[in-house]
């Protein structure tokens, strides 16, 4: 019986060491407490052909008109809802707006490069994981102006699935 317990303990130790060495070789990002947190999303090229709207899409910001001061909204993505996130901003105001998008998950924070949308223009920005996995994490969208003019914008965020 002692031999079985020792063999089980040895087998468990070997399995744990093997799993640690495999995770160390994957190049995943590690947060401040040392746990493997997975991937960090990237900005995709601006889509040329947006996929059609589907009943299966998750609408995190369901088409919101905003006027007045700065705009801010946050939402959480579930990997089951898809592997792409489109954030659309239309600027109906008198001056350019600045869009800031931030992603947070398990202690990691990524602030994507801010982008500007001229008066009367719009832009759809797509976010994804390079490996095609479903998106997760807490996302924040903030829209401001440099000039201090009031905003007149339309914002939406849609998560959906694109199969490779």
Per-residue pLDDT tens digits of the chain, which is 164 residues long: 444 444 444 443 434 333 333 333 323 333 332 333 467 888 776 554 666 677 678 899 999 999 999 999 999 999 999 999 999 999 999 999 999 999 999 999 999 999 999 999 999 999 999 888 999 999 999 999 999 899 999 999 999 998 86
Q: What are the CA-CA distances from residue 95 to residues 47, 63, 91, 150, 153 (Å)?
A: 25, 21, 8, 9, 11
Q: What are the CA-CA distances from residue 27 to residues 15, 18, 21, 23, 41 (Å)?
A: 20, 16, 11, 8, 15
């Amino acid at each position: 019986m002692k031999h079985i317990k020792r063999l089980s303990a040895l087998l468990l130790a070997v399995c744990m060491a093997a799993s640690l060495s495999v995770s160390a070789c994957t190049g995943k990002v590690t947060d401040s407490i040392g746990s493997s947190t997975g991937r960090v999303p990237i900005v995709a090229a601006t889509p040329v052909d947006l996929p059609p709207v589907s009943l299966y899409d998750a609408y995190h910001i369901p088409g919101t008109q905003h006027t007045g001061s700065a705009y801010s909204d946050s939402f959480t993505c579930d990997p089951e809802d898809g592997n792409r996130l489109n954030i659309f901003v239309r600027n109906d105001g008198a001056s350019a707006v600045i869009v800031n998008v931030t992603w947070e998950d398990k202690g990691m924070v990524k602030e994507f490069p801010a982008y500007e949308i001229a008066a009367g223009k719009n832009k759809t920005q797509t976010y994804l994981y390079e490996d095609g996995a479903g998106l997760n994490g807490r996302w924040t969208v903030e829209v401001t102006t440099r000039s201090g003019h009031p905003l007149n914008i339309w914002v939406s965020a849609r998560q959906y699935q694109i199969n490779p």
